[in-house]
Structures are given as structure tokens and as C-alpha cells.
Amino acid sequence: MKKIKLFISALFVLGILCFLNTKIGNVPALGKFLNPVTGIWQNENNETISDEVVIPGLIDKVVVYYDKQMIPHVFAKNDHDLYKAQGYLTAKHRLWQLEFQTHAAAGRLSEILGDLAINYDRTQRRIGMVYGAEQGLKYMEKYDRETLGFVHDYTDGVNAYINQLDPINYPVEYKLLDYSPEKWTSKKSALLLMYMTKMLAGRDDDLEYTNVLRLIGMDNFNLLFPDFFDSVDPVIPKQTDWSFIDQPQTNLPLNYVVLDTITETIKKPNPDNGSNNWAISEAKSITGNPILANDPHLGLNLPSIWMMMQLCSPTHNVMGTTIPGALSIISGFNQNIAWGETNATRDVIDWYKIEFNQDRTKYLFDDSWKDVRNRLEEIKIRGGETIIDTVLYTHHGPVVYDKNFKSNNQRSGYAMRWIAHDGGNHQRTFIELNKAKNYDDYVNALNYWDAPAQNFVFASTEGDIALWIQGKFANKWEGQGKFLMDGSNPENDWQSFIPQKFNAHTKNPSRGFVSSANQHPVDQSYPYFIFNDGYETYRNRVINDFFNSKDKFSIEDFKDLQNNNFNLKAAELIPFMLDNMEVSSLTKKEIEIYNEIKSWKFNNDINEVGPSIWREWYGELYALIWDELESDKVALIKPYTYQTIYLLKNEGDNNFMDIKETTDIKETASNLFLLSFKKAAERLIEIRNKKGNYDWVNYKSTFVGHLLNDLPAFSRFNIPIGGDRNIVNATSENHGPSWRMIVEMSKPPKAFGIYPGGQSGNPGSKHYDNFIDDWAKGEYYQLEFLQSINETENMIGTLILKPQENE
């Protein structure tokens, strides 16, 4: 009996120990997780901002002040120490995110999350994310040891933090998922840049276009997806003189499209990833100083993608936002210039059909067989067996789709040609911009920028404003890269690149302002073929109309514009729909909604119902028009809004308006208006019954989601903010202005900024999400741009980073 009791109690103890020490499914190991000595209770704090820390490898002492937004102001005595300190501070405030984002870039999420991330990881590997990062590092090793040196400094800084970190203080996400941070490397910084490149310009629809072309023919394709719309308001003003370009566009070869059927394509970055930026000249500014603004539209996440910093060394003094993992400031200003980015709408990804030999060791090119190079991608899976994915590389790039991935063709595949695989030196651009003193320095900094294609806006205290559309762009023949190309024909390769000096740009244009909002980069007069898979057509016109509307502008005007909720898209279609819709069949409830939309003034403010009605109505309408392009069997894409509205207004009896299902009648646009209105009304009444109303704020329910699949406990929901996609205040459900900046080029510059998050990555810190409410209200923080190490009156903490004594 005694023995049995002993045995049972031993089992009991062991059982409890195992149960509480093991992560079971999504539930963390409860003993580890909830004990107050090493568990999450230790993360219940705001970060220390007054301290002295020894950082091995520092040359000199670095002083870091914190202001009340917890923005670090870093004062270093040389640039190496500056970037070491930046690495250290980034790790201190954002360690988990810093590592998680590079794991995501590298296709290593399965190591943390298990087999649910396999597909994601495989896609990342197959599009050559790691390969691209390696190429970038190789380039730096060969051509730019100085920048590489700074990358090493940053790496040392991050690792100094990780090395000092007691597991007790691991960020809460590590405890939740039960893993540990690993050493930072230069490759991780390169991966972060690839992550940005993919997020910002990793979208293309060549394969979908190929399917659409096969389905509807070239004439219809050109009607639905024109290179230029009936009117465009491009980034580079229309009247720009291009006569200085003396190198012609590549000649059109004899070429035919490969009309393959592609059933499934990889997941694309969010089509709303875009941005606004603009700058006005001295003459257009009330104070006589140029003013510049930037607001990048990205997924709204916590910890925030951005982190504000001031970086000061004897060579420069710069402030703005950076992305954890990247050196220097990405969007910001120094004592002489300010700059910001938006996505340039240029097609930087093309696809080639590859024909393999029997054993897939060679591929056909120029009537001969070239060797395939194999790259083995090892994907480790938490709680599972490691997978090895063999990706075949051609001179075009990786064969993303083949018999092992989303295709069953034994002897063929589709290779990706992406400029991001060529190895660039993007980091150098930012380091140089941080130091730039004038227009020439800015242009020189852009020289290093290959990808992602960006519109870099610029303003200086000298009074210049400018905008360059920068990237390394292939000089394509007319139409090249719209569709899948035959990879065995050398004429389909990118023949050359547009010389950087011929990239589209504008400096001090006569209209007194520059702006970009992801619209057409140029009009037809630019001598090179340009094409992209999507152009914005609304924000840009609201912005440009605003700056043409009066003579002088102030910072307040800039704030108003960034928060502008005018829905131009709705304003261009709703009156037409109301005029052309037969209303006699509307029920009483439908008439109520009809009257609501009729009285709407097209502002997407939070308390309006118009935006919700418009969303439902247009959504139903869009689905009805493009029912021809709906398929489960092949990957298709539907036309963009601008052209859809153009067709509705100008070609209302086009065959595309007909609903395929109803064979007895041929619908026109006005039939569709009524049908879609009735469907929308039904949905809206449902929503009202369920939620009480369909006010825009409730309908949209903007949220900022935690990077771990929007984990509700660490996310913020129901944020009261207006706007929507295609509106200058581009805030939709989970996407929008991820950073808002306004800088007046006084001496020194005066700047305002805010982003929907907080400086800390710790969900237990009050600095985790404390900017969100002010951001939603359209408020800004005036940034404390310290001019010397002695300006400490508004600072609330001082962190001293010291070199090791005996070094």
C-alpha cells in the first residue's frame, strides 16, 4: 500500500511538472509562462530610459535622451558608434519584432509557428528572398565595404543587447511561443531590406493577365486594362520636357505571348500598399519655407512597423522614422533637407516560361540547352520533420512555379525575373540621404537605389523641391512583361537598363509643388515603355487639385490634407448612378437608403452612413459587371476601379455589362445599378439589424493588429477614424497611413509626426500603443529636433552607453 501511494504521488508530481512545462497547441507552458519570477509578470513594465550600460566595441561614450513620446535622441561622437547605438536601441525596444520580421522574410516562420506556416515559408524561399539578401550582401562586400562596416556596427549593437538579456526579460512573444532570440547578423539586415522590397513592389499580375488575355482576346484586354486612362495626372507633371533623353526605347521584336493556363498564383502583397508625399516651394508657402509631407500606407500593425529616432554625430543630425532592422532614418529630415517615399508604380517583376529537358537539369534558351542551378532550401518545422525544397534557378531567376509548387507540368515551369535578385545597395541610399545637405547630395544618394521602385520627394532649406522616380528599370520593348513570356527566346530578356539620369524626375516645377500618390509616373510623352499592374487614380487628383486651389499653404493645410476624407471615386459615380437608375420598383426600406445616399456629400467621416452604402453598392456592382472574370479554375484579375467606372459611364451597353447567368435578357449599366442597389440594401438592413446601425465608423471598424496573426489580446479594435482606400486619408479596415510626417524647411526645420502605434514593442508597456488615439483624431506631435547635446529641458530620461573600460 505504501509503495502504491508513493508511486501515485510520484506520477502526480511528474505529471504536473510535464504539463506545466510543455507548450500544448496554442497554450504556452503554463508554469514557465505564468510564474512571477521568470514568466510574463516580469514583462509588466515600461522600459528603463535612465541607465548606464556598457556596450563592447563602442569607441566613445554615446548619450541617448528620451522625450515624453519615448523617442530616443542619440548623440554619438562618430558614425560607427551611432549605428551601434541604433542597433542596441532597436533591440532594446523592438527585439521580438526585429527578429520576427526577418524570420518572415527568410521563410523561417515554421521554425516558430509549426506546420501552419509551411506554405508561406515555401513561397518566400521560392521567390528567392534569401537568395536576394545574399546577393545584396555580396554586392556590399565587393563594392562598398564602408556601408558593410556600418551594417556590422548595427549588428554588434543588436547583439550587445541580446547578449546582456536575461531570459527573464525576453519579450512576451518569446515566452508565449516558447523560443529564444538568436544572434543578429548582417544577413538579417539584408533580409529586412528584401522584406521591404517585396512588401512595397512585390506585386505583379502578369500570370493573371495572361489568363485574362486568353479568355477575352487582345482588344477586350486593352479596353479593360489600358496602359493609360482617358485622362491621367501623373507624378511627373505633363509638360515636362524629355528632350535630354538621347537613348531610345528597345525595339519591338517579333514576339508572341505564351497563352498558358495558370490555375493558382502565389499570394500577393496588399494592393493598397501605397503612399502620399508632396512638397511645396517657397513661393507657395505662407512662411516662405518649403514644406514637405509623407504618409506611407501599409498594414496597420503592432508593434508598429515604424520607430521614431533622432541620430546625431559630428557628420550629421537627422530625425524621422526607421524600420527595425534597417540602419539610419528611412523617412525624415536633417538640418538641411527632408525626404519621404511613396511606391513608384513600375513593373519590376516579369515571368518566363521555362522548358526543361527530361531530368530537369537543363533548360532551353536560344536554341541550346543551358544548365539549371539547384538551390536547396531547408525549411525546419517546429514539431515536425525538416523539408528540403529544391528550387531551380535559370539566368532569369528562380523557377517559382514547377511540378513541386502550384503546377503539375513535368517539363516546364515559370521563372521570375525580379530586380531585387540582382543585389543592390539600398542601405547606402538611406545613409547618404541622412547626411545630404542639398539637391545634389540627394540625387547622388538615389544613385544607389535599385529596388523597390520609389518616388523620393525632396525639399531643402535652400528652397529646392524635387521628386525622382527611382529604381533600376529595364529598358523594355513596347508591351514587354505585361504577360508571361517565352523564356527560351533571348529577345524576351531585359535587354538593357534605363540610365539613372534618364529616370523620370522633376525639380522646382513651375506649378510650385511636387506630389506623388502611386498614380501613373509619367504621361505618354516619356520616351520609355512604362507599365504597371495597378495605378492609383483618386488620391493624386485630390492632392493636386488642392494645391492648385489657392496660392499659399501652411502646415495646418498639410495636416488637413493628410486627414482629408473626400471620396472622389464615389463623387464620380454616385450622381451618375442616381440619374440613370429606374427607382419605381424600390420598396419603402430601399427608398430610405436611397435618400440617405442621395444626401451624402461624399465625405468618409466616421458618423456618415453614405460611405457604408457606397461600399456595399459599389461592391455588388463590381461583382455583377465582372462576373465573366470569376473562376475557381484559373487565376484571374478584374479591372481597376477607374476603368470600371469609365466603362459604366461611357459604354453602358458593352457586352461585359451582361450578366452571364441570365440568358434571356441582356443587362446594361443602368440595370446593374438597380440590381446591385437592391442587393446592397438587403445587406445593409442585415447589418443594421445585427449591429444597430451602419455608420461608417462601425461598418469599417478599423483595427491595428498584432504581427502574430492579429492576436486579439495584443491588438487594438474599433478605432474611430474616417477615410478609406483611394482617399487621401487612406485608412481602411486594417490598412492606412502608417506614418504621417510634415516638415517645414525653416532653419532648423520644424517637424510634426505620428504613427498608429507606440515606441515600445512590449504589450505590457504604456508606450506600446499610446499614439493610436491621437493618430485617429488627426493629431500630430511636434518632434523635438535637438540642435545640441545640451538641449535637455524637454527630455525625461538619459541613457548612457559606455565603451568597455579596458578596450
Partner 1 sequence: MNRNISNFSLTILFAIVFSIFLPWWSIMLASFISSLLISLKKIMVFLIPFFAVFIYWALYSYLLSSSNDFILAKKISDLFNIGSSPYLLIILSATIGGISSGASALFANQIKINLK
Query: Under the rule (CB under 8 A), what is the footprint of partner 1?
Result: 2-3, 5-6, 9-10, 12-13, 16-17, 20-21, 30-32, 34-46, 172, 176, 711-714, 762-766, 768
Closest CB to partner 1 among residues 177, 687 = 177
**What is the CA 109 to chain-centroid distance, rounded?**
19
**C-alpha cell at position 41:** 509578470
Phi, psi angles (nearest 5°) of residue 739: -165, 130
Please, which residue, 32 or 370, has the CB nearer to partner 1? 32
Minimum separation from the CB atom of position 764 to partner 1 (A): 3
Sequence-separated (6 or more) residues with CB below 8 Å from residue 464: 290, 438, 439, 458, 507, 508
**Residue among 273 and 760 whose Cβ is closer to partner 1:** 760
723, with CB counted inside 10 A (0-12, 13-18, 19+), is buried
Query: Nearer Cβ to partner 1, position 31 or 720?
Result: 31
Identify which of residues 36 and 248 has a Cβ nearer to partner 1 in the complex.
36
Cell numbers linked to 613 = 452604402
DSSP state at residue 48:
P
- Which residues touch 712 (CB under 8 Å, ≥6 apart)? none
Smallest separation, CB 716 to partner 1 (Å): 11
Say if residues 62 and 88 touch (Cβ distance below 8 Å): no
Q: Which is nearer to partner 1, 2 or 267 (CB)?
A: 2
**Number of helical (H) and strand (E) elements in the chain, helices listed first:** 21, 29
What values do phi and psi take at 678, rounded to 5?
A: -65, -40
**Closer Cβ to partner 1, 13 or 283, answer by number:** 13
Q: How far is the CB of 35 from partner 1 (least distance, A)?
A: 4
Q: Which is nearer to partner 1, 42 or 427 (CB)?
A: 42
Give me the least distance between CB of 30 and partner 1, in Å please: 6
Considering the complex, what minimum distance in angstroms separates the CB of residue 29 from partner 1?
9
Q: Which is nearer to partner 1, 42 or 488 (CB)?
A: 42
Q: DSSP state, 315?
A: T
Which residues, including other chains, have CB under 8 Å from residue 655's CB and lie 6 or more apart? none
Diameter of the chain measured on Cα atoms: 101
Contact present, 165 and 172 (Cβ < 8 Å): no
Quick one: three-class SS letters along 180-206? CCCCCCHHHHHHHHHHHHHHHHCCCCH
Amino acid in position 710: D
- Is-contact 269 515, C-beta < 8 A? no
302: which strand partners? 706
Helix (H) or strand (E) holding 291: strand 291-299
Q: Closer to partner 1 at the Cβ: 5 or 267?
A: 5
Taking only Cα atoms into account, the Rg of the chain, rounded to an integer number of angstroms, comes to 28
Tell me whether the omega of the peptide bond preceding residue 324 falls within 30 degrees of 0, making it cis. no
Instruction: Select 34 or 283, whichever has its Cβ closest to partner 1.
Output: 34
Q: How far is the CB of 42 from partner 1 (least distance, A)?
A: 7
Q: Please give the sequence-ordered ranges of beta strands (E in DSSP) within 692-785, or none if there are none.
A: 702-706, 716-719, 735-737, 740-744, 750-754, 781-782
**For residues 198 and 127, is the Cβ–Cβ distance under 8 A?**
yes
Q: Cβ closer to partner 1: 8 or 800?
A: 8
Handedness of CA 222, 223, 224, 229 (dihedral sign): positive
Identity of the residue, 288 or 712, whose beta carbon is nearer to partner 1 in the bound complex: 712
We find the least distance from the C-beta atom of residue 10 to partner 1, in angstroms, to be: 6
Q: What cell was used for 791?
A: 538641449
* Residue partners of 312: CB distance under 8 A and separation at least 6: 73, 74, 75, 76, 82, 318, 786, 789
Q: Which is nearer to partner 1, 69 or 671 (CB)?
A: 69
* Shortest Å distance, C-beta 739 to partner 1: 24
- Residue 515, CA atoms < 13 Å, CB-side half-sphere: 24
Of 373 and 766, CB closest to partner 1: 766
Distance of closest approach, residue 164 Cβ to partner 1, in angstroms: 18
In the complex, minimum distance from the CB of residue 767 to partner 1, in angstroms, rounded to a whole number: 10
What's the CA gap between 654 and 656, in Å, rounded?
Answer: 5
Nearest to 446 by CA among 475, 422, 473, 421: 473
Measured in Å, how far apart are the chain's first and last C-alpha atoms?
67
Q: Minimum distance from CB of 51 to partner 1 (Å)?
A: 18
Torsion of CA 257, 260, 264, 267, to 10 degrees: -20
With the C-alpha atoms ordered 192, 293, 538, 239, is the resulting torsion angle positive or negative?
A: negative
User: Which among 28, 179, 194 has a CA at the least distance from the CA of 112?
Assistant: 179
Closer residue to partner 1, CB minimum distance, 4 or 218: 4
How far apart are CB 798 and partner 1 at their closest, in Å?
22
In the bound complex, what is the minimum distance in angstroms from residue 8's beta carbon to partner 1? 8
Nearer to partner 1, 34 or 591 (CB): 34
Residue 4 beta carbon to partner 1: minimum distance, rounded to whole angstroms = 10
Q: Is 325 left (phi over 0), alpha (psi -120 to 50) or beta?
A: left
Residues 6+ apart with CB under 8 A from 801: 53, 54, 55, 58, 61, 62, 63, 64, 84, 85, 88
Class of residue 6 by CB neighbours under 10 A (exposed 0-12, middle 13-18, buried 19+): exposed
How near is the Cβ of 706 to partner 1 at its closest, in Å? 10
Cβ 70 to partner 1 shortest distance, Å: 15
- Do 328 and 448 form a contact (C-beta atoms < 8 A)? no
Question: What are the residue ranges of helices labelled H in 494-587?
Answer: 539-549, 555-562, 568-579
Tell me the closest approach of the beta carbon of residue 90 to partner 1, in angstroms: 21
